[in-house]
Amino acid sequence: MTTVNTIPETALAWHRDGRGAVLATVIETWGSAPRRVGAQLVVSGAGEIEGSVSGGCVEGAVIVEALEALEEGAARELEFGVSDQDAFAVGLACGGTIRVLVEPVGKVLPEALLAGLCAERAARRAVAYVADLDSGARRLDSTGHETRFRMDRSGFEEESRTFVAIHNPPLRLIVVGAVHIAQALVPMAKIAGYDPAIVDPRETFGADSRFPGETLLNDWPDEAVEKLGLDGRTALVLLTHDPKLDDPALELALRSDCFYIGALGSTRTHAKRVARLTEAGFSEAEIARIHGPVGLDIGASGPSEIAVSILAEMTRVLRKGA
């Protein structure tokens, strides 16, 4: 299972199928709201749903409001208090309050604008959907919200009624080396919302039986990495210990915008890696992007704990920067 969000794409498909579609988006929260700002639910004219704005607490009320908004052809702003009892049912210690923006597709949210948003997402380009709730104007921005893009944080512009919904490309993890650590790391990364791919030219290691249902590439790592692409929403983890496999992919990563580069090996192994890359012409600042030895120093022992340390370090870099 992956947690890749396809809500806008579903909304566009339902609208084009003539079923009608309404997008409901969390625009503000207080307290322990079940979903973060920017979370979305799409409702069809027949009451079908995909996604969530509250983990189940208020979805029923949102569906009713969405169907009425679709009939009226007008946007709505809703506010709900989530009780302590309902919050506990979805795994929270206490309740909170959420505000939800309801937008019928084609009437409030133009079809062409939604199609443009989906096209940017398909091309793995970060884009912001900007809605002025006073004037009703909607637009897409690819620049001007750098902090929000970096923090993956939707919200209102300061002291305004302009809501900015951030649509970053889905997170990806490319693992070079289909080893025992990868067998633990890949399912953990999927739970955390990553779309993983495992690369290993050694078919004995990169076998379906060892990674059932996963994306496997039995190519040389540099060829596979070029094929998959590296961008600001991609993490690369190198686990082979073999310079013939790791280094070509590593050199591509250092020339890319990928947000995390981690390489397995001892301090001594990493020192040799640094020497090879220096000789290859990489600067000290470029080489410093590599997290080696890979993972947070938590005293990990065994493949699963090492995988935990790697995922923790990836999360820290993603959310706080290097």
- What pLDDT is recorded for position 91? 46
The partner residues of 139 in beta bridges, in order of sequence, read 130
Q: What is the pLDDT of residues 111-128, one digit of tens each?
A: 999 999 999 999 989 999
Band of residue 5 on the pLDDT scale cut at 50, 70, 90: confident
- What pLDDT is recorded for position 63? 95
Identify the H or E element spanning 223.
helix 221-228
| C-alpha distances out from residue 59 to 20, 25, 35, 66, 133, Å | 18, 12, 12, 10, 22
pLDDT at residue 25 greater than cutoff 70:
yes
Confirm if 185 and 175 have CB atoms less than 8 A apart. yes
Q: What is the pLDDT of residues 153-174, one digit of tens each?
A: 999 999 899 999 999 988 999 9
Provide the mean pLDDT of the chain: 91
**In this structure, what are the phi and psi dihedrals at residue 217, rounded to the nearest 5 degrees?**
-125, 120
Tokens of 164: 């900015």
Q: What is the pLDDT of residues 96-115, one digit of tens each?
A: 788 999 999 999 999 999 99
CA–CA separation, 194 vs 173, rounded Å? 6
pLDDT at residue 45 greater than cutoff 70:
yes
**In this structure, what are the phi and psi dihedrals at residue 19, rounded to the nearest 5 degrees?**
-85, -15
- What pLDDT is recorded for position 35? 78
pLDDT at residue 3 greater than cutoff 60:
no
Greater confidence (86 vs 310) lies with 310
Which domains, from first to last, does the chain contain? 7-167 (no CATH), 172-320 (3.40.50.720)
Band of residue 82 on the pLDDT scale cut at 50, 70, 90: low
DSSP string covering 59-87: HHHHHHHHHHHHHHT--EEEEEEE-HHHH
Q: What is the pLDDT of residues 234-277, one digit of tens each?
A: 999 999 988 999 999 999 999 998 999 999 999 999 999 999 99
Mean pLDDT for the stretch of residues 11-19: 97
Helix (H, G, I), strand (E, B) or coil at 58: coil
When mean pLDDT is compared across 54-68, 74-88, 131-145, 193-207, the lowest value belongs to: 74-88
When mean pLDDT is compared across 32-46, 125-139, 252-266, the lowest value belongs to: 32-46
- What pLDDT is recorded for position 90? 47
Q: Is the peptide bond before 201 cis (omega within 30 degrees of 0)?
A: no
- What pLDDT is recorded for position 146? 86
- What pLDDT is recorded for position 4? 58
What percent of the chain clears pLDDT 90, i.e. is strictly above it? 77
Helix (H, G, I), strand (E, B) or coil at 142: coil
Read off the DSSP letter of residue 321.
Answer: -
